[in-house]
Chains A and B, each alone.
Chain A
Amino acid sequence: GAVVSQHPSWVICKSGTSVKIECRSLDFQATTMFWYRQFPKQSLMLMATSNEGSKATYEQGVEKDKFLINHASLTLSTLTVTSAHPEDSSFYICSAWMGGATDTQYFGPGTRLTVL
Chain B
Amino acid sequence: GESVGLHLPTLSVQEGDNSIINCAYSNSASDYFIWYKQESGKGPQFIIDIRSNMDKRQGQRVTVLLNKTVKHLSLQIAATQPGDSAVYFCAENTDSGGSNYKLTFGKGTLLTVNP
Contact = CB atoms under 8 A, between A and B. Distances in A.
A112 to B, nearest CB: 7
B43 A97 contact: no
B102 A46 contact: yes
B107 A43 contact: yes
The B interface, classified by DSSP as helix, strand, loop or mixed, is loop
A44 B41 contact: no
Chain A contact residues (Cβ within 8 angstroms of B): what range? 20 to 34
A43 B101 contact: no
Interface string A11-24: 00000000000000
Interface in A64-116: 91, 93, 95, 97, 99-101, 103-110, 112
A103 B32 contact: yes
A103 B93 contact: yes
Contacts of B36: 107
Interface string B74-115: 000000000000000100010011000111111110000000
Q: Which 9 A-B pairs have the closest CB atoms?
A: A107-B43, A107-B44, A110-B43, A43-B4, A43-B105, A44-B105, A109-B43, A103-B32, A41-B8
